[in-house]
Amino acid sequence: MHMLMSIKNVRKHFGKLEVLKDVNMDIHKGDVVVILGPSGSGKTTFLRCLNFLEQADSGAMDFADMHLDLSHASQKEIATVRKKTAFVFQGYNLFANKTALENVMLGLTTGRGIPKAEAEKTAREALQRVGMLDRADYYPSQLSGGQQQRVGIARAIAVKPDVILFDEPTSALDPELVGEVLKVMRDLAKDGTTMIVVTHEMKFARDVATHVIFMADGVIVEEGSSEDIFQHPKEERTKKFLHRILTHDYEEA
């Protein structure tokens, strides 16, 4: 399989607290990598470092024919990485004064200089893929949380990124709205979209992930296929975490 992204020796401190301690990860084209772990394990910080929303203290990344120093990347390198990746946030991050369609178009016209007519066509196609085309002219305040997050995913896929980074995309949603967002993500996975997903949705991780990573206290404790991690975890910390989460897992089977 084609190696898309190779990440080495990522470290990050916030003050005295070391949040990431030498994290390494390889992402292949078409992978759905799911990162699990307790709150405060460094999952979100790691994801944000890949897109330079946070700056790592040290570490390297090979991506898009570039070798990047994560702590000293140039503005040009950062811009290239952001052009080839898309980020789906926990809290949607939509512009309240723009319609669903305008929110999706913005990354194309402003972010990538695509002419308006072409951007609108691409944005409508992206909204269609997430089942939101009929709400193209609605403002975020007129949409449910699940619908807003689907617009967020449409915005991500519209730019045709090499990889989409999802930061707990369902954690801000009411339980009954989680399914519609996970369905869109499952469909993207089926279409071969490369994704790195930080989530607590165990059923999604079990069913969809090609690779599961369990993080705690800033390190990767264990990684493997979803079967390895869910059926045959080796590390005591992984076993304890899964037991605790799966015992409370009220998600529909």
Confidence at residue 111, expressed as pLDDT on a 0 to 100 scale:
81
Residue indicated by tokens 């045959």: 232
pLDDT, tens digit, for every residue of 113-137? Answer: 999 999 999 999 999 999 999 999 9
Percent of the chain exceeding pLDDT 70 equals 97
Helices and strands per DSSP (H, E), number in the chain: 9, 10
Mean residue pLDDT across the chain: 94
When pLDDT is cut at 50, 70 and 90, the band that residue 252 belongs to is very low
pLDDT, tens digit, for every residue of 4-56? Answer: 999 999 999 999 999 999 999 999 999 999 999 998 899 999 999 999 999 99
Long-range contacts from 204-210, C-beta under 8 angstroms, 24+ separation? 204/34, 205/34, 205/36, 205/230, 206/230, 208/32, 208/34, 209/32, 209/33, 209/34, 210/30, 210/31, 210/32, 210/33
- Residue 42 CB neighbour total at 10 angstroms: 23
When pLDDT is cut at 50, 70 and 90, the band that residue 249 belongs to is low
Where is pLDDT greater, at 84 or 252? 84
Confidence at residue 248, expressed as pLDDT on a 0 to 100 scale:
63
Sign of the dihedral through C-alpha 179, 184, 185, 187: positive
Confidence at residue 148, expressed as pLDDT on a 0 to 100 scale:
97
Q: What is the mean pLDDT of the segment spanning 80-98?
A: 95
The model's pTM: 0.94
Confidence at residue 244, expressed as pLDDT on a 0 to 100 scale:
87
- In single-letter form, the type of residue at position 193 comes to T
pLDDT, tens digit, for every residue of 174-199? Answer: 999 999 999 999 999 999 999 999 99
Token reading at 81:
């990485």
